[in-house]
Structure 1
Amino acid sequence: MQNYIGPELVLQKRQQYFYPCTSHFYRNPPQIVKGEMQYLYGHDGTKYTDFFAGVSVVASGHCNPEIAERTAEQLRTLQHTCTIYLTQPNVDLAERLAGVLPGELRRTFFVNSGSEANEGALLLARLYTGRRGFIALEQGLHGRTYLTMSVTGLSMWRTDPELAHDTDVTFIPRPHERGVSADEAGRRSIEALKAVLAEKGGEIAAMIAEPIQGNGGMITPPDWYFPEVKRLLEQYGVLLIADEIQTGFGRTGRMFAMDLWGVTPDIISMAKALGSGIPVAGFATTDKIAASFTRPSASTFGGNPVSSVTALAVLDYIEAHRLPERAVRLGALLRGGLERLAQRFPQLVSDVRGAGLMLGAELCADDPQRGAELADEVLEAVKDRGYIIGKNGVNRNVLAFQPPLVITEENIAGLLAALEETLAGL
């Protein structure tokens, strides 16, 4: 075994050299040293089944050999140029994406991260419409650049308090409210959208929304919600930006989550699962909208040969192994197990929601502070039983299940057993 410094020294170095804003899960965190498909390994050899996937990133598995080999080969061949030079991997990737993107979306601008992808999408909307304003959903998360933070409604990620004075962004209620049916919450959100459009629709460039709010607590709208949103926006010439950073590339059972409701956005942002651990992201749109982006622009590392070849390998793997279909089948199995636990422990588990293998279980919704404390206890106890899960939500009381899409039925059965033992112990 290699000589790892161990979690205590890792924590010491983080405290010495990281910013104080950087936090971590667990009271007794392991030092993660190896990944292998759906598994992670600690410094002491402990094996963990990963049900969080780096927040939806490694959807094709950790260090997937089919993907890693192609990445390594490209690293040995041509590691970097910028888009001012001609290379084949990024144009092949753009062409491949045009074949899987919905509707007439076919042009992609490559960047490195989800924040950059959303920033570019918002800029593109302003360039195309000649308007400045944006509509966003409360409790959404779109990034940590200034413009993406401005359209982020989740308060813990609005780092600069001056963002509250950004008059270009109007927030409307999300289609979720405690104690209210999904349809009623959706109707309240739509009425708010109608009011904003009636008041200043001519000033709004775009509405940005996550199809399913991940960090906001796995908030899944009623089926009719986004079709109605798109219809209303079109009446005012307002674009719809779908933030598919967490939901894209098979996680919800479709290549993109908006496909669940038959909605084609005007601009789509993507990252995370596209590189399965290698930084690659982009925002895509139609020929017509892309034609408005004419001033010189580039991303130094966006679409570099290594990230592009990796993304092509990821898309090949998704198709060959039918990962969206796996997400439907295995997601139904996991959801069914979580719902049975909610029936057994109604005083603990208030709600189960999501789609495919993007699921959340809210704890103690009527007492979210207690729910947040329990979420930490559950994460710790489940980790000690060999399983990694996440947490999210406005109050950090929602258990998050976003595993690599290569997990098995046996993995799910083991997780559910560990979760049941943990909840029974509470």
Structure 2
Amino acid sequence: MTAFIGPEAIVKKRQEYFYPCTSYFYRKPPQLVRGSMQYLYGHDGVRYTDFYAGVSVASCGHCNPYVAAKTAAQLRELQHTCTIYLTEQNVELAERLAAVLPGDISRSFFCNSGSEANEGALLLARMHTGRRKFIALENGLHGRTYLTMSVTGLAMWRTDPELAKDQDVAFIPRPFEQGGDNEAAARRSLAALEALLAERGSEFAAMIAEPIQGNGGIVVPPAWYFPEVKRLLGQHGVLLIADEIQTGFGRTGRMFAMDRWNVTADIVTVAKGLGSGIPVAAFCTTNEIAASLNRPSASTFGGNPVSSATAIAVLDFIEGHRLVQRSEELGAQLREGLERLAAEFPEIITDVRGEGLMMGLGISEDRPELGARLTDDLLEGMKNQGYLIGKNGVGRNVLAFQPPLVISAADIAGMLTALASELAALEEQGEGSGAKEAAAGGESSGPSPTSAAPANPEGR
């Protein structure tokens, strides 16, 4: 039997060898040692049903036998070459992506992470338009490189304070207002974009946006919003970059979230779910726009045989097991259950939002500090009941449900039952009890928005 060092020893080593910015979920975190589809297992044999999937990564489940077999077979044949050599796997992957990407998008540049994909997309936009500046939505997240942090509007992920002086990025309000009228918020966002373009449209290369903001709190715009955004940008020759890193490959009940609104962006960035746990990413565009990136460029590990073979297997599995359709169907079950809980616990739950298997549950969002503490209490309680859930939002007070797309209806029903019991316990104690407990001692599941050490691995 394998001997594990245990959570306490891991925490001690992390404190000694990791950077202080690296933290973790839970006051009493488990050591995870094994995964199987929608399940993860602790060192003590406890099974957890995963409702976060490594922030939308394990699209086909953990250690999916079909995907893992294809990965292992490729590892035994050819593990690595750069794109300066010819291999079959990456061109097959590019061809497969062209078949599922929207519109005329058929060119892919492969890299390793969402940050790198977004960085490349921003560079491509500059090369194509000859312009330098960008537009982004407030409270979006696009990566950890310097340029992608510059277009990130979520304060806790703008690590360098000098980013505040960046003159190349203009932020506009997002189409969302907590506790308000989202239709009106979307109109204000669009009006701000229109005014910005009227004044300075010729300065901007592109607008980058997540179709559904993930770390910003699972924010879904009105259906008309992105079609209007695309129309306005087109009038001024400004490209639209769709950051589909969390939302792509079936997560929202469509292959890509922009498909929900029949919007074809000029550039699409992908990562996370495409590799279902193996690093692979790409920025994808049309023949015309791709022709502008014609100076020598490469990503050493981008499109390597193993990541490419894995991604092909992921696309096979998504298609063969109808995971896009399953996401829509099971997402409806999840939404119905969460809305039922919202009606039962209105003092704790302020909102239910999302699409497909990307759902958010706002926790006391009208009182952000309390909501953040109650969210931590719920994460801890659900972990103790065998369910791993994420959190996000500007105030870190949104429960995030982004499970592997292989999750079952029974898993969702069980999770909802467990969540109901945790909410009932909080209500019975009085909604302020979470704040008292957190203040009394014990490590929280994550920081307040002003904490110096972000608690979950949401960087790209």
User: If the length of structure 2 is used for normalisation, what is the TM-score?
Assistant: 0.92
Q: How does 1:397-408 map to 2 (within 5 A)?
A: 397-408=397-408
Which residues of 2 match residues 34-45 of structure 1 at below 5 A? 34-45=34-45
What is aligned with 1:211? 211
Partner of 2:198: 198
Match of 1:300 in 2: 300
Aligned partner of residue 237 in structure 2, secondary structure: coil
1:30-82 superposed Cα distances (whole Å, 9 cap, x missing partner): 00000000000000000000000000000100000000000000000000000
2:256 paired with 1:259? no
Q: Is the 8 A contact 2:90 2:308 kept in 1?
A: yes
Structure 2 gaps of 5+ residues are 427-460
Aligned counterparts, 1:47-126, within 5 A: 47-126=47-126
* Letter paired with 1:333: Q
Query: 1:144-183 maps to which residues of 2 (within 5 A)?
Result: 144-183=144-183
Question: Structure 2 CA distance, aligned partners of 1:66 and 1:10?
Answer: 31
Letter matched to residue 141 of structure 2: L
Paired with 2:295 and 2:50, the residues of 1 have a C-alpha distance of 43
Structure 2 partner of 1:227: 227
Distance in 1 of aligned mates of 2:174 and 2:35? 36
Q: 3-state SS of the aligned residue for 1:189?
A: helix
SS at match of 1:208: strand
Give the structure 2 partner of residue 314 of structure 1.
314
Equivalent position of 1:366 in the other structure: 366
Give the equivalent residue in structure 2 for 1:394: 394
Which residue of structure 1 aligns with residue 450 of structure 2? Answer: none
Match of 1:385 in 2: 385
Instruction: Provide, for residues 294-334 of structure 1, a one-character-per-residue CA deviation record: whole Å limited to 9, x for no partner.
Output: 11000000000000000000000000001010001000000
Distance across 2 between alignment mates of 1:421 and 1:277: 32
Which residue is equivalent to 1:46? 46
Q: How many angstroms apart in 1 are the aligned matches of 2:31 and 2:186? A: 43
1:366 CA drift (Å): 1.2
Q: Please say if residues 179 and 366 of structure 2, whose CA atoms lie closer than 8 Å, have aligned partners that are also in contact.
A: no
Deviations 1:348-407 (A, max 9, x none): 000000000000000001101100000000000000000000000000000000000001
Distance in 2 between residues matched to 1:179 and 1:73, nearest whole Å: 51
* 1:30 aligned partner: 30
2:205 aligns to what SS in structure 1?
Answer: strand
Query: What is the SS of the residue equivalent to 2:26?
Result: coil
1:140 matched residue in structure 2: 140
Residue 421 of structure 2 corresponds to 421
Distance 1:56 1:155 in 2: 21
**Structure 1 Cα separation of the partners of residues 2 and 198 of structure 2:** 64
Q: Contact 2:362–2:398 at 8 Å: present in 1 too?
A: yes
Would you say how many aligned residue pairs link Structure 1 and Structure 2?
426
Question: Matched residues in 1 for 2:365 and 2:127: separation?
Answer: 42
Q: How far does residue 180 in structure 1 lie from its aligned partner after superposition?
A: 2.1
Any gaps of 5 or more consecutive residues in structure 1?
A: none
Distance 1:228 1:296 in 2: 36
CA contact (8 A) 2:218 2:393 kept: yes
Do 2:136 and 2:151's aligned partners in 1 also have CA atoms closer than 8 Å?
yes
Following the alignment from structure 1 to structure 2, what is the Cα–Cα distance between the partners of residues 346 and 221? Answer: 23
Question: In the TM superposition, what is the alpha-carbon distance from 1:199 to its structure 2 partner?
Answer: 1.0
Q: Equivalents in 2 of 1:83, 1:404: separation in Å?
A: 31
Give the residue type in structure 1 aligned to 2:294: T
Contact 2:71 2:310 survives alignment (8 Å): yes
Question: 2:180 & 2:158 partners in 1: Cα distance?
Answer: 27
Q: How far, CA to CA, are the matches of 1:365 and 1:90 in structure 2?
A: 44
Q: 2: distance between equivalents of 1:180 and 1:349?
A: 15
Q: CA deviation at 1:213?
A: 0.3
Q: Distance in 2 between matches of 1:285 and 1:92?
A: 17
After superposition, the C-alpha distances for 1:71-104 in whole angstroms (9 at most, x for unaligned) are 0000000000000000000000000100000000
- Report what 2:333 is aligned to: 333
**How far apart are the structure 2 equivalents of 1:188 and 1:120?**
30
Amino acid at match of 1:383: K
Q: Which 4+ residue blocks in structure 1 deviate beyond 2 angstroms? A: none
Counterpart amino acid of residue 126 in structure 2: R
Q: Distance in 2 between matches of 1:346 and 1:403?
A: 25
* Residues 280 and 308, structure 2, Cα contact 8 Å, conserved in 1: yes
Structure-1 separation of matches of 2:146 and 2:192: 25
Aligned letter for 1:42?
G
Q: Kindly, what percent of the aligned residue pairs are identical?
A: 71
Look up the SS of the partner of 1:293 in the other structure. coil
How many angstroms apart in 1 are the aligned matches of 2:331 and 2:14? 36
Distance 1:334 1:245 in 2: 22
How far 1:222 moved relative to its partner? Answer: 0.2
- Secondary structure at the aligned position of 2:276 is classed as coil
Partner of 2:375: 375
Shift of 1:178: 2.0
